[in-house]
Amino acid sequence: MQQVPEPSTQVLKSVCRSCHGGCGTLLHVTDGRLTKVAGDRESPLNKGRLCPIGTSTLDLVYHPDRLKYPLRRTGARGEGKWERISWDEALGEIAERLQTIKRECGPEAIAMGTGTGRHHIRWVSRFGHALGTPNWCEPGFAQCFHPRVNTTLLTFGDFPVCDFTGGTPPQCIVYWGHNPVNSGPDGETRFNALDALESHAKVIVIDPRRTRLARQADLWLQLRPGTDGALALAMLHTIIEERLHDAAFVAEWTHGFEALAERVRSCSPEWAAPITWVPAELIRAAARLYARTKPSMMEWGCAIEHTPNCIQTVRAISLLPALTGNVDVPGGWVFGMKGLGRFPSLIENLSPEMSAKRLGADRFKMLGGEGADLPAAHIPTLLRAMREGVPYPVKAFLVFGNNTLTTFGNAKQAHEALLKLDLLVVADLFMTPTAELADIVLPAASWPELNQLAGLPTIAANVVLAQRKAVQIGECKADEEIFIELARKMNLPLCTEPLDEVLESQLASGCGISLSELRKKGFHKLEFRYRKYLDGGFKTPTGKIELYATRLEAMGYDPLPHYHEPPESPVATPELAKDFPLVLTTGARIPFFFNSEHRQIKNLRKAHPDPIVEIHPDTAKPFGIKSGDWVWIETRRGKIRQRARVTDEIDARVVHVEHGWWFPEEAGPEHGVWTSNANLLTSNDPPYDPAMGTYQLRALLCRIGPVT
Ligand SMILES: Nc1nc2c(c(=O)[nH]1)N[C@H]1C(S)=C(S)[C@@H](COP(=O)(O)OP(=O)(O)OC[C@H]3O[C@@H](n4cnc5c(=O)[nH]c(N)nc54)[C@H](O)[C@@H]3O)O[C@H]1N2
Ligand SMILES: Nc1nc2c(c(=O)[nH]1)N[C@H]1C(S)=C(S)[C@@H](COP(=O)(O)OP(=O)(O)OC[C@H]3O[C@@H](n4cnc5c(=O)[nH]c(N)nc54)[C@H](O)[C@@H]3O)O[C@H]1N2
Ligand code: SF4
Ligand SMILES: [Mo]
């Protein structure tokens, strides 16, 4: 029974955005105070449930360490000396300094930064476009989700998601480099991704760690990190060789089957087995089970994208549903109803010359150029422009929701770049180690403090939800409102209209219901249509699913999937492997924190007090390492420590470290950011994915030892 609220309590239907979001919530407000955040049982996305992070919302909103008013640095950069200023002063100073940089160096010398999938993510580039700069970035753009988005757009003409809310249960689910038991995943809510298991579908898990899903799976493929591309090619090979594909669908609705068959002819399971460490017979079994069991869902995660061969890897995996006809069918992969409508990105405000200046766009066309759905700057190239002024200087960085020092690859280099800036502005909920380096810090509103829209699954937007402002904390402002006020302060011609006007326009071009009606209802589920391609084909140049990608070919990239060894591996760099014998993967999600966040929330931290490194007993034994011991982990680039979890759930040749760690309880300005931070171990050096500019986060070489 849902509890009946106190008479003086107002209940607003909203949507949690503490991760990529989507869970319907009921915000109980009593006398201006948020008193309870409950899951909305009516929401098709979570049916009343919240994860540990969502459950801790009150602790987040009312946390004593929240930033509550704008701050200006008074000491040296990073010295931790601040004075409180008014919003008017803060925005006035930012506006003036931006105008100066724009006048002296051009708008491209100003870069915008943000984090993954937030309510305001598109507003960051929107403000940049209004300002005239093509340079905005997000550490998940080349590394996460967008390789999947941009690759499927050119292969299928649309972004596929799993059909979780259509009512037809899948018969087979593949969890590929993805663990929604812990992650509020990209694309949909974690609860949908897990509910699908209740249909007793056959389950295939592809993960180097024996996760809870792997334990439940019919088939678990424990591959070597970074070799997903080889595995996918071998599965394609098996399906084609054994004629397990849907021949009628392939003949009518795909382009380039013969070329693909030729490309994967040599990629037998026997070829892939020594590369991936997965036995050939197990690869065959997975290909057969997948191809013969329909409908099937492909649930894929960011592990397949944290590699410099991510576009080809994503392409290869995406062709499995294509060959088996699991596309836009009930219980399979489907294309969304786009209930959220068009976001006014203002990208048309950039001239072609200015767009061409986007850092990295000339090389990485799937990230910053014509192959990108929402073009973004290449982070290593941007950091170089900050550090060295090459190919032109970047002088200002406005960061709205990213803890750069924890989530960018090669954190020390990112740190060096931030120190070189003339102007660093950070808007955040807390004083992070990154905010400590800023000239001006702005207090951002958390999700129950602001109005927005959400469309879930992301991009597909089959369900549209209204996010509601329930309370005001200190002088905190929603990022969207900060952009609007800053645009007005700078007398920009764009990005100045009230927020609700933009939201109304999105709804009008999407599901068509009014903002007030949506706010009343809380969410709106669109009526679903399957096999939309029957009406005019797929939205690709050939009108078919492009097994052979003509758009990749036109951009000068390989139109057929291929495999590349990770740049640092026992195979690619055997000499290095003598000193650093273990394969390192990083960042598998944990249910209590979102990337670098939530370490200051007591309940969540109690559930997971320390950073954990997973090591196999055979690997730990020679060092005398036991569970609970502090262990150092070292790569060519740096050394950190985390606490051991000695477990046979991981391959003896692989070590896993958690990402995002800093210690809010430790003194500033560093707050322990250099102690356990996975990105002291990673690199952002080339090689990059040729089309996307992606660097390696999940398959590096390391060594370990006990902290004495
Ligand atoms: N080694 C390694 N590195 C990784 C990964 C990995 O697996 N391994 N994963 C990568 C991936 S996939 C991604 S997407 C990125 C994630 O990187 P990001 O999404 O940038 O995550 P954070 O750096 O934690 O930054 C989020 C910051 O936003 C603040 N914040 C929260 N809500 C709001 C808000 O509404 N407004 C504002 N202004 N601030 C807010 C938080 O307090 C926090 O400081 O990390 C990448 N880095
Ligand atoms: N609670 C919580 N939810 C989150 C986040 C969070 O930090 N906390 N982060 C959000 C973000 S930004 C993202 S991108 C998603 C990520 O969430 P997911 O896409 O689910 O990805 P991860 O949990 O990072 O990794 C999934 C699995 O990949 C495995 N893995 C590691 N290396 C490899 C490899 O080379 N190949 C394969 N096949 N598997 C590998 C790991 O063992 C792990 O079990 O979650 C989002 N949701
Ligand atoms: S899964 Fe994400 S949206 Fe759902 S309750 Fe957890 S943090 Fe909130
Ligand atoms: Mo991500």
Query: What's the mean pLDDT in 326-333?
Result: 96
Taking only the tens place, the pLDDT of each residue in 233-249 is 999 999 999 999 999 99
- For residue 660, give the ligand 1 atom closest to its CA: 24
Is 610 strand, coil or helix? coil
Ligand 3 atom nearest to 50, measured from its CA: 5
pLDDT at residue number 165: 83
Nearest C-alpha to atom 3 of ligand 3 is from which residue? 21
Question: Which residue, by CA, sits nearest to atom 37 of ligand 2?
Answer: 177
Q: Is 113 in the pocket of ligand 1 (CB under 6 A)?
A: no
Are the beta carbons of 267 and 240 closer than 8 angstroms? no
The residue count for the chain = 708
| pLDDT reported for residue 379 | 98
Question: Helix, strand, or coil here: 397?
Answer: strand
Ligand nearest to the CA of 304: 2
- Take atom 42 of ligand 2 and give the residue whose Cα is closest: 209
Mutational pocket test of ligand 2: of 302, 307, 655, the residue with most ligand atoms within 8 Å of the beta carbon: 302
Best mutation site among 15, 47, 49, 190 for ligand 3, i.e. most ligand atoms within 8 A of its Cβ? 190
Average pLDDT over residues 104-119: 97
- Assign domain 71-144+339-525 to its CATH architecture: 3-Layer(aba) Sandwich (3.40)
Please report which confidence band the pLDDT of residue 257 belongs to, taking 50, 70 and 90 as the band edges. very high
Q: How far is the CA of 434 from the centre of ligand 1 (A)?
A: 11
List the CATH code of the domain at 574-706: 2.40.40.20
**499-508 and 479-489 helices cross at what angle (nearest 10)?**
120
With H, G, I as helix, E, B as strand and everything else as coil, classify residue 570: coil
Domain ranges of the chain: 9-61, 71-144+339-525, 159-335, 574-706
User: Taking the domain 9-61, which CATH number applies?
Assistant: 3.30.200.210
Which residue among 589, 601, 679 has the greatest number of ligand 2 atoms within 8 angstroms of its CB, and so is best to mutate? 589
Q: Chain-wide mean pLDDT for the chain?
A: 96
Mean pLDDT over 354-383 rounds to 97
- Compute CA distances 464 → 457, 514, 527, whole Å: 9, 12, 12
Answer CATH for 159-335 from 3.10.129.10, 3.40.228.10, 3.100.10.10, 3.40.1530.20: 3.40.228.10
Any atom of ligand 2 within 6 Å of the Cβ of 584: no
Work out which ligand 2 atom sits closest to the CA atom of 300.
19
Q: Please state whether the peptide bond connecting residue 139 to the residue before it is cis, i.e. omega within 30 degrees of 0.
A: no
**SS3 at position 629:** coil
- The predicted model scores a pTM of 0.97
Q: Is the CB of 139 under 6 A from ligand 2?
A: no
> Which residues have CB atoms below 5 A from the ion given as ligand 4?
116, 140, 144, 302
Indicate which residue's Cα is closest to atom 3 of ligand 2: 183
- How confident is the model over 526-532, as a mean pLDDT? 96
Q: Show the tokens assigned to 427.
A: 């808007």
Q: What is the mean pLDDT of residues 12-22?
A: 94
Instruction: Examine the pLDDT at 6 and tell me if it is beyond 70.
Output: no
Q: Is the pLDDT of residue 57 over 60?
A: yes
The answer, yes or no, to whether any atom of ligand 1 lies below 6 A from the CB of 660, is yes
- Whether 5 shows a pLDDT value over 70: the answer reads no
Question: What integer is the mean pLDDT of 81-87?
Answer: 98
Ligand 3 proximity of 434 Cβ (cutoff 6 Å) = no
Q: What is the pLDDT of residues 448-467, one digit of tens each?
A: 999 999 999 999 999 999 99
- The reply to whether omega before 498 is within 30° of 0 (cis) is no
pLDDT above 90 covers what percent of the chain? 94
Q: For residue 1, is pLDDT > 60?
A: no
Torsion of CA 685, 691, 697, 699, to 10 degrees: -100
Instruction: Name the closest ligand to CA 45.
Output: 3
Query: Can you give the pLDDT at residue 189?
Result: 75
pLDDT band at 179 (very low <50, low <70, confident <90, very high): very high
Least confident window among 182-191, 312-321, 643-652: 182-191
pLDDT (mean) for 456-484 = 96
Take atom 7 of ligand 1 and give the residue whose Cα is closest: 587
Q: Which residues of 444-464 are buried (b: 16+ CB within 10 A; e: fewer)?
A: bbbbbbbbbbbbbbbbbbbbb
Q: Specify the pLDDT at position 185.
A: 66
| 129 Cα: distance to centroid of ligand 3 (angstroms) | 30
Q: Closest-lying ligand to the alpha carbon of 411?
A: 1
Residue nearest to atom 28 of ligand 1 (CA): 401
Band (pLDDT 50/70/90 cuts) for residue 361 is very high
Average pLDDT over every residue of 181-194: 79
Residues 6+ apart with CB under 8 A from 153: 159, 373
Residue 2 pLDDT > 70: no
The answer to whether 325 and 246 are in contact (CB under 8 A) is yes
Q: What's the token pair of residue 532? A: 């939309």
From 698, 567, 572, 701, select the one nearest 634 (Cα to Cα): 701
Q: What is the mean pLDDT of residues 673-689?
A: 97
Binned at pLDDT 50, 70 and 90, residue 199 comes out as confident
pLDDT digits (tens, 9 = 90+) for 564-600: 999 999 999 999 999 999 999 999 999 999 999 999 9
pLDDT band at residue 444, thresholds of 50, 70 and 90? Answer: very high
pLDDT grade, residue 192 (50/70/90)?
A: confident
Mean pLDDT across 75-86: 95
Question: Is the pLDDT score of 478 beyond 90?
Answer: yes
Distance, CA of 102 to CA of 105 (rounded, Å)? 6
Q: Which is it for strands 296-300 and 172-176: parallel, antiparallel or unpaired?
A: parallel
| Average pLDDT score over residue span 151-174 | 94
Maximum CA extent, the chain? 71
pLDDT at 168: 92
Rounded mean pLDDT of 673-680?
A: 98
Which H or E run includes 582?
strand 582-586
